[in-house]
Amino acid sequence: MELVVVIVLAGILSALAIPRFTNTESSATWYSEQVKAAVRYAQRQAVAQRRNVYVCIAVTSVSLTYDAACSTALAQPGTSAPYSLPAPSGASLAATTFWFNSLGQPSSAQSLNIAGHAITVEAETGYVH
């Protein structure tokens, strides 16, 4: 009888505790995929509009802009809202700025680390992986 009670209590505790541990990891993974998509979008917009598109990475967010000062925001597809991705709690970024030119080439090779997930932008091609 005691063993059954212990197993039931362990099951209840694990049902409550496991989502808390995996939620942080899954939100960090989802955020890194969103950042990859944003960087790819910046490259496509640079080619389509034949102008530089800047990827501005702050400690708590990633935004896409048309200028190095990160003030003229690129709009999200289908809306007029600025393209900005706030980082989830627990995820911090290293602040940097790079851009894509009208040929889709980045200003320099980039290696971003978002909560343990690496995002690499190749120097010549701009390939994001």
Q: What is the mean pLDDT of the chain?
A: 86
Which residue range is the domain that position 80 belongs to? 2-121
Q: Give the single-character DSSP code of 106.
A: B
Taking alpha carbons only, the member of 84, 88, 86, 127 closest to residue 109 is 127
CATH number where 66 lies: 3.55.40
Give the predicted TM-score (pTM) of the model: 0.79
Number of structural domains in the chain: 1
pLDDT tens-digit series, residues 68-85: 888 888 888 888 889 899
- Answer whether residue 127 is part of any domain: no
Residue 49: pLDDT above 90? yes
pLDDT of residue 105: 93
Give the strands of the sheet with 61-65, arranged side by side: 84-86, 61-65, 53-57, 96-100
